[in-house]
Each structure stands twice: as structure tokens, then as C-alpha cells.
Amino acid sequence: MKAGYSVRSEDSLGDNGVVEESVTSLCDGAGGQQPICESVAQAVERYLTDLDGTEPVDLYALVLCEVERPLLQAVMKHSCGNRSKASRYLGMSRNTLQKKLAQYQIDS
């Protein structure tokens, strides 16, 4: 496991019997890479600067779409297209994952 990440084993159950998995922080920059939160912050700052005074519209939806699609693609690739595994990695139900894959037109 890479430095900076902490994942509990599947037999580590929470109070409600759900497997708890936690990543230390995506802002820690594990493995010497730039932290994800810094990358997003820099990209948003560049976007706002490039607008040159024009007010952004639906910025939240834009950023979410720009981040969520590659996240889903990477997790689907890492899970070899296994939606059950991918939904566990993402901490969402298979139904929610299925809806998001359809929304972004991602084939698994």
C-alpha cells in the first residue's frame, strides 16, 4: 500500500455493520504527488482567471462533472469493470454507480 493511505480491512466493521474504509486524506499528497485538492484548486483558479471578469455559471456542476467522470473511469478500470467492487471502492450503491455510469456514458 502506498504511503499516505490507510484502509481498514473488510473485517473491520462499523457500529452499523458496514465495512468502514478510510483514506487518510486526498490532500496529503501521497507518494510525492501533488494532492488532488491542490490540483482541483489550481484548475478552478486558472478557469476563473481565464474568464477575465466574466461571471461563471454553474461552476459547481462543471467542476463536479470534470472530476467525477475521470474518477469513475479510473475506478472502473482498476476494478476490471466489476461494478460491485467499484461501488465498494467509491462507497456508493451499485444502483447509484449504474446511474452515474449511464449519466457519463461510461461503458464498463
33 vs 95: which has the higher pLDDT: 95
pLDDT band at residue 108 using 50, 70 and 90 as cut-offs:
confident
According to DSSP, the residues that pair with 13 across neighbouring strands are 19
**Do 108 and 77 touch, CB atoms closer than 8 A?**
no
Look at residue 12 and tell me if it is in a domain: no
* Beta-bridge partners for 19: 13
Residue 58: phi and psi, rounded to 5, are 55, 45
| pLDDT above 80: residue 39 | yes
Confidence (pTM) = 0.68
Domain encompassing residue 68:
34-103
Report in angstroms the alpha-carbon separations of 16 from 13, 20, 49, 77: 8, 10, 46, 30
Instruction: Establish if 67 belongs to a structural domain.
Output: yes
The answer on pLDDT for 96 being more than 60 is yes
Structurally, how many domains does the chain consist of? 1
Q: Is 41 inside any structural domain?
A: yes
Separation of alpha carbons 13 and 19, rounded Å: 5
Looking up residue 61, the CATH number of its domain turns out to be 1.10.10.60
